[in-house]
Amino acid sequence: MEEFLAAAIQMKIHSFDRELNLKNAVKLIDKAAGFGAKLIVLPEYFVSECPSINKSPEDLKKMATPVEESSVIKRIASEAKRVEAYIVAGTILERDGDDVYNTSVLIGPTGEVIGRQRKTHPENHLSKREVELGVKPSNELNVFNTELGKLSILIDVDANIPEVAVSYAILGAEIIAWTLNWSVRWAYLVPAIASTYAYVTQTYVVAANRAMLREEQVGPYPLYYMGPSVIANPEGEIVGYAGSFYEGIAVGIISREIMKTIKDYNKDVYPLGRRPEVFKDIIARK
């Protein structure tokens, strides 16, 4: 598909009501599909709340399920089929044997699971206690072939590691779906990172962040989320934006023709092509 509409869902996540979150996600997916979106991205931990200091490793193992058995993924897959769109299903807690991962699932327009991307750099903040609670890191970076183009998934603070997005581009990604769950403290960085990564990787970046008050208390002060959710084109221009704090949907056109035009122009003008010989000695260091 040479041109289509993408949507980044900015939703409130209820800390203690998984079913309400799922119902809300489906409602917002319906709304995005009503706009004509063919790619819809949900935020990280969109149904379960982040694993926090209030949880135990045993709690996480009880919450986690294999992707194939997840009722959440089955419901989102049913919705993807109904609206005939690709959906990046935020993230869920995935169980694989005794291991737990923070996993995003890409679902196609016929309801099939195309693939999954596990978080490569779990974090350990009070509000998202992944490392201490046993969330495992992944060493795999995936590029999925779809009729919309080659798509990769960036999970939350994996964006703190520029090499992840750059690696996706080197592997051929044309669209990077960034599913995140960042509080108001970091909100100003979301458009900046999305814009910068889109430009330096020559991809479209579709970033879906959380909104509104977090009901679970994880520290001395309430946690607020204000998005924004954005879509950036390969020139680094923000072409879709959902306003701050409240729920909303960022929508923007993704055009493979524009992407090709920009890439063809930039390869002979700006130094965006990488020269591995510059970095080989540094990369060899740990």
Helix%, strand%, coil% for the chain, nearest 5:
30, 30, 40
Question: CB-based burial of residue 219 (10 Å sphere; 0-12 exposed, 13-18 middle, 19+ buried)?
Answer: exposed
Rounded Cα gap, residues 129 and 126, in angstroms: 6
Q: Number of C-alpha atoms within 13 angstroms, CB side, residue 67?
A: 18
Domain count, the chain: 1
Rounded Cα gap, residues 144 and 219, in angstroms: 39
Question: pLDDT of 13-60, one tens digit each?
Answer: 999 999 999 999 999 999 999 999 999 999 999 999 999 999 999 999
Q: Is the pLDDT of residue 271 over 70?
A: no
Q: Number of C-alpha atoms within 13 angstroms, CB side, residue 209?
A: 33
What pLDDT sits at residue 268?
77
Please say whether the beta carbons of 251 and 231 come within 8 A.
Answer: yes
Question: pLDDT of 145-170, one tens digit each?
Answer: 999 999 999 999 999 999 999 999 99
Rounded Cα gap, residues 128 and 214, in angstroms: 12
What pLDDT sits at residue 273?
66
Nearest to 87 by CA among 44, 37, 140: 37
Q: Which domain holds residue 88?
A: 3-283
Name the least confident of 117-131, 136-150, 205-219, 256-270. 256-270
For 252-262, what is the mean pLDDT? 93
The share of the chain scoring above pLDDT 70, in percent, equals 99
The enclosing domain of 25 has a CATH number of 3.60.110.10
Please say whether the beta carbons of 133 and 56 come within 8 A.
Answer: yes
Residue 240 is which amino acid? G
Q: Is the pLDDT of residue 269 over 80?
A: no
Q: What one-character DSSP code corresponds to residue 65?
A: B
The pLDDT confidence band at residue 286, using thresholds 50, 70 and 90, is low
Q: Report helix angle 162-170 to 189-201, nearest 10.
A: 30
Take residue 239 and report the two structure tokens written for it.
């072409």
Residue 263, Cα to own-chain centre: how many angstroms?
24
Rounded Cα gap, residues 132 and 152, in angstroms: 27
Nearest to 209 by CA among 9, 6, 5, 7: 9
What pLDDT sits at residue 263?
84
Q: Which three-class secondary structure state does DSSP give residue 208?
A: strand
Question: pLDDT of 50-98, one tens digit each?
Answer: 999 999 999 999 999 999 999 999 999 999 999 999 999 999 999 999 9
Please say whether the beta carbons of 207 and 118 come within 8 A.
Answer: no
